[in-house]
Amino acid sequence: MDERVRLADSAGAAALMESVLYEVKRVVVGQDHFLERVMVAILAQGHLLVEGVPGLAKTLTVKTLARAVRGQFKRIQFTPDLLPADLIGTRIYNQKSGEFGTSLGPVFTNLLLADEINRAPAKVQSALLEVMQERQVTIAGETHFVPEPFLVMATQNPIETEGTYPLPEAQVDRFMMKVLVGYPSEEEEFAIVQRVTSPATEVAAAATTAQLMVLQEECRKCYVDPGLISYAVKLVAATRDPARFGLKDLARYITFGASPRATINLIEGARAMAFLRGRSYALPEDVTDLVPDVFRHRLVLSYEALSDALTADAVIMQVLKAVPRPEKPLEGHVRVASA
């Protein structure tokens, strides 16, 4: 409660998030889209799947963010010989006391980076995804809860496929968003070289994990108009039955559409996006901005789509064009409805 009062007495939630982003941007150059999605995932209490080539500051971004919010950060390098116990922990026998003790694994942290998750076998991937969903671990019949806030950011390397174990579609669905991280521009890369070759920048703590949890609670109070929920439902339905939305030619390219988790994550993400943008209510653009990131890993494309070089993003763009956006809710109506 003290943190909530302190947060209200200060410049407010928007100012606090702005100060956190400022500290991260002092170290990380560019990657605005990626950083915004990380903040949305934290506020919406979701998890991220990130795809990008090495060297694009994925680790640096999460590590710097952890410092800015005084949170714990741990990184797991996934390898083919990794075991579930290496993630969640195990029971260890103590010879002196003659009793078994519990050694907790690296998943017990605030911000967890699962580097190259597709390099570990299915049983290790499942162990991590179970923690993401349940936010707890059971070791020898004893339940241990992970600390709050808790964010998992898993990375995939799109270059190498040798010795990898692709995540099954049912497990990928546990991730709130899949973000594609691209190369920086020439100007950004020039700034990157300057910062890396200069003395290291010290990151100041702009917030605490307690304040971050208060922000999560406040974020859930953002008003979402029923029309926006209906819009999200129609977008998801268009991926399952394209012909009903005038996309008959698209049906042969989609084997399975998005799951109900996509609808939930889309609304939760839109609420967090609105909160991040300093509003207490969501707008249609908050939904449409997140549709590619929420949908792209949930669509199972047919072999015909692969043969025609049709990507999930291209399918999503057609769906967005086919489903009309609702009108923006009037601010006065929003105030009455949210009250």
The confidence band for 161, taking pLDDT boundaries of 50, 70 and 90, is: low
Q: What angle do CA 147, 153, 157 make, to 5 degrees?
A: 155
Dihedral of alpha carbons 32, 34, 37, 38, sign: negative
Q: Is 107 helix (H, G, I), strand (E, B) or coil?
A: coil
Please determine, for residue 111, whether its predicted confidence score (pLDDT) is greater than 80. Answer: yes
Q: What is the pLDDT of residues 225-248, one digit of tens each?
A: 999 999 999 999 999 999 898 888
CA distance linking residue 215 with residue 198, whole number of Å: 34
Residue 314 has what pLDDT? 92
Pairing between β-strand 300-301 and β-strand 254-256 as defined by DSSP bridges? antiparallel
Please determine, for residue 5, whether its predicted confidence score (pLDDT) is greater than 50. Answer: no
Phi and psi, residue 105, nearest 5°: -85, 180
- From residue 16, alpha-carbon distances to 25, 203, 223, 301 in Å are 14, 15, 21, 41
The confidence band for 125, taking pLDDT boundaries of 50, 70 and 90, is: confident
Single out the residue of 17, 330, 19, 3 nearest to residue 204, CA to CA: 19
Residue 10 has what pLDDT? 35
Please determine, for residue 22, whether its predicted confidence score (pLDDT) is greater than 70. Answer: yes
Q: Residue 334: how many CB atoms within 10 A of its CB? A: 19
CA distance linking residue 143 with residue 138, whole number of Å: 4
Please determine, for residue 11, whether its predicted confidence score (pLDDT) is greater than 50. Answer: no
Single out the residue of 136, 131, 126 nearest to residue 172, CA to CA: 126
Average pLDDT taken over every residue of the chain: 84
Which of left, alpha, beta for 82 (phi over 0: left; psi -120 to 50: alpha)? beta
| Residues 6+ positions from 143 with CB-CB distance below 8 Å | 136, 137
Single out the residue of 42, 35, 31 nearest to residue 269, CA to CA: 42
Task: Please state the rounded mean pLDDT for residues 82-103.
Answer: 82
Q: Residue 40: how many CB atoms within 10 A of its CB? A: 28
Q: 226 vs 8, which has greater pLDDT? A: 226
